[in-house]
Amino acid sequence: MQELCASLLRSLREHVRALLAAHVAGLPAPADALAALNGALTRAPAASLLRWNPDRGLYRETAHPVAQIVEHALAVPAADLLTGPDADRLTACGSTPCNRYLLRHGRRHWCSVRCGDRARAARAYARRTAAAAPHPGGTTTPPDGTRPPRARL
């Protein structure tokens, strides 16, 4: 049962990510992802059903299957986010290889301080490499950060 829950939730998470990716890229929403989210949204047990057993007789009971409740708990905010007032601010984190999404605030392009630091470090390294490259026959700093021996004049 636990493995089934985990598998259902992983699958739903991938569908949510597919919808986020399509939204951020301005592409049509994938039909299978829409179907999966709609399934999770409509399977939420809200109705109190009529039951009967020999000990209790007739009674009302709301079903609370864990997987459906958790699926619903993930699907509702995802659907709200994709259709809400912040939907236009959704963006993918700009720090490779991070695959998270965030709501853009001003010039912020990263999901976390760690991703921002990594992206800035990569940019600084690219600048150093580019600055060293245009001198044919000159020395460049190898990627491992060690300096080549200086040429004596």
Residue numbers of the site for Zn ion (CB under 5 A)? 93, 95, 98, 100, 111, 115
Omega of the bond leading into 97 within 30 degrees of 0 (cis)? yes
Minimal distance, residue 55 CB to Zn ion, in Å? 55
How many Å apart are CA 128 and CA 115, to the nearest integer?
Answer: 20
Q: What is the DSSP letter of 133?
A: T
- Of the pair 100, 108, the CB lying nearest Zn ion is at 100
- Of the pair 57, 97, the CB lying nearest Zn ion is at 97
Cβ atoms 67, 85 nearer than 8 A: no
- Of the pair 60, 105, the CB lying nearest Zn ion is at 105
Minimal distance, residue 81 CB to Zn ion, in Å? 17
- Of the pair 72, 101, the CB lying nearest Zn ion is at 101
**Cα four-point dihedral sign 81, 113, 124, 147:** negative
Minimal distance, residue 66 CB to Zn ion, in Å? 30
Minimal distance, residue 104 CB to Zn ion, in Å? 13
How many Å apart are CA 116 and CA 130, to the nearest integer?
Answer: 21
Q: Which long-range contacts (C-beta less than 8 Å, at least 24 apart) are formed by 113-118?
A: none
